[in-house]
A and B are shown apart, each in its own frame.
Chain A
């Protein structure tokens, strides 16, 4: 009965590779997010989708491309991985139309680029 799930939980890869992280939510939410948490625990939003439409796109390198096949899924594809991409990536979801509602977070994907 996991609310927000992410796969994989750990991802270790070499510089220059391309990788994807998948996220799924079964809460019926209409909005999903990707956050990056760096080694100092600083959490920064990267993208947000509402009903498959991109609504937040922060200053993120073009190597990062989110894709939302439906409102329950938001995947993150990263091209040409760099050392600085090493971080924990969190997916989250919420209802947009319930005022400012809480966001539910997934368990995170720890990406290590060697």
Chain B
């Protein structure tokens, strides 16, 4: 079965510090992986996606993620946190021709001034 696990439902970082949000996946076929961000009272917005073209994927707002097959991981990073990064982040796994996406349980990022 396909699944996504996000480690840590809450992560707090200081402004200017490194952001690291963890995501591990389980998939029997090469996965499509995504990171989405959800700001309060809004819908989800795509940060970046992995589709096997390159293992290091750069996204919007300075975020990037690295696909590591050996570790079945797709962790999200940003070198320097900004107050505006405070939001809920979802890792997601796509599979199949029906575009079905399985979302992780989300990680709420808090940025401390």
Chain A 36-56 interface residues, beta-carbon cutoff 8 Å to B: 40-45, 48, 50, 55-56
9-residue interface stretch from B16-24, B39-47, B77-85: B39-47
> Judging by beta carbons under 8 Å apart, are B99 and A94 in contact?
yes
A-B contact count (CB 8 A): 64
**Residues B46-84 near A (CB distance < 8 A):** 46, 49, 51
In the complex, chain A residues whose CB is within 8 Å of the CB of B98: 48, 50, 55-56, 96
Whole-angstrom distance from the CB of A2 to the nearest CB of chain B?
A: 11
Compute how far the CA of A69 lies from the CA of B75 in the bound complex, rounded to whole angstroms.
40
- CB of A106 closer than 8 Å to a CB of B: yes
With contact pairs A4-B43, A106-B43 given, residues A96 and B99 touching in the complex (Cβ less than 8 Å): yes
Main secondary structure of the interface of B (DSSP, over half): strand
Q: In the complex the two chains form, what is the Cα distance from A108 to B100 in whole Å?
A: 19
CB of A102 within 8 A of CB of B43, answer no
Chain A residues with Cβ under 8 A from B102's Cβ? 45
* B interface footprint on A12-50 (CB within 8 Å = 1, 0 otherwise): 000000000000000000010100000011111100101
Residue of A nearest to B34 (CB): A102
Cβ 8 A contact of A102, one of B46, B97, B103, B106 = B46
- Find out whether the CB atom of B88 lies under 8 angstroms from the CB atom of A41: yes
- Assess the B99–A103 pair: CB atoms within 8 A: yes
Q: Are A107 and B43 closer than 8 Å at their CB atoms?
A: yes
Q: What are the residues of chain A within 8 A of B45 when measuring CB–CB? A: 105
In the docked arrangement, what's the CA distance between A79 and B85, Å? 39
For residue B11, CB closer than 8 A to chain A, the reply is no
Interface residue B5 (Cβ < 8 Å from any Cβ of A):
no
17 residue pairs of the A-B complex, CB under 8 angstroms, read: A41-B106, A41-B108, A42-B103, A43-B103, A43-B106, A45-B102, A50-B99, A56-B98, A56-B100, A96-B98, A96-B99, A100-B94, A102-B34, A102-B46, A103-B44, A107-B42, A108-B42
Known contacts A90-B43, A102-B49, then 8 further A-B pairs from the complex at CB < 8 Å, ordered by chain A residue: A42-B106, A48-B99, A50-B99, A96-B97, A103-B101, A104-B46, A108-B42, A108-B43
The 5 closest A-B pairs by CB, nearest first: A105-B43, A100-B32, A43-B103, A102-B46, A105-B44
